[in-house]
Amino acid sequence: CTLDSEVALRVGGDFFFDPQPGDPPVKLVLIAGGVGINPLFSILLHIADLHEYQESKGYGYKMGTVKLYYSAKNTNELLFKKNILGLMNAFPGKITCRFHVTQQGSQICKELQPHVTGK
């Protein structure tokens, strides 16, 4: 998003991401806190499937970029962090994530350091 961009927000409740092959590409920003990552992680896995299908077949829905912002008390409470790192590595520039920790008491592992902000 850029300054003055129009965005749609959805907080809680029933939601899903199911674009059809003829739909225009969209850029998604997913924001999660704590266990709220569960439905967004499912969406992220679906997006990875869409990327894989489009890359292997050359047709289907062409996904835009996805940015995930995920916050927790510390890195131990970041659910699916290794899976999310794997998706970022598998789809560089297409899937990105910033982890934010609010009460980190120990050293952050080297693998996560470039993707973590906070205390």
Q: What is the pLDDT of residue 97?
A: 98
Q: What is the pLDDT of residue 11?
A: 74
The model's pLDDT over 71-88, given as tens digits with 9 standing for 90+, comes to 999 999 999 999 999 999
User: Coil, helix or strand for 28?
Assistant: strand
Q: Write down the CATH number for the domain with range 28-118.
A: 3.40.50.80
| C-beta separation of 42 from 66 below 8 A | no
Ranges in the chain, pLDDT < 70? 1, 119
Res 119: pLDDT: 67
- Residue spans of the domains in the chain: they are 28-118
* Helix, coil or strand: residue 118: strand
pLDDT confidence of residue 58: 87
State phi, psi for 26 to the nearest 5 degrees. Answer: -125, 155
Question: For the chain, what percentages of helix, strand and coil (3-state, to nearest 5) are there?
Answer: 35, 20, 45
What pLDDT score was predicted for residue 3? Answer: 85
Residues 6+ apart with CB under 8 A from 34: 71, 72, 73, 77
The whole-number pLDDT of residue 108 equals: 93
